[in-house]
Amino acid sequence: MSVEHNNLIRFTKITKKKDGMFANFTAKGVKGGTAFTANIAVDLLAAEVDPGDSLEKIIEECARIAERDVKKSNLQFEGLQAI
């Protein structure tokens, strides 16, 4: 993976599901020898945007929420505590 694509979050699409509409993002990066990929979905209602708003506004507001929440996340490996 080239450095120019390291640790980037990219908008991919907007999806409509039975429980709401979501802005979808993909994160890819490499840090300390670990490569990671993550999919992020932000509910448009949580971002307080309307589906009729411009795509730029929807992406910007949802990206702001995604960035904030991903930075605050405290992920753990499943079952690692048992080791």
* Residue-wise pLDDT tens digits, 37-62: 889 999 999 899 988 899 999 999 99
Whole-angstrom Cα distance, residue 81 to residue 79? Answer: 5
> How much is the pLDDT for 21?
94
Q: What whole-number distance in Å separates Cα of residue 48 and Cα of residue 58?
A: 9
CA distances in angstroms from 66 to 3, 13, 17, 36, 72, listed in the order given: 22, 14, 19, 16, 10
Q: What's the pTM value of the predicted model, to 2 decimals?
A: 0.77
Report the DSSP beta bridge partners of residue 28.
8, 37
Cα 78 → chain centroid: 20
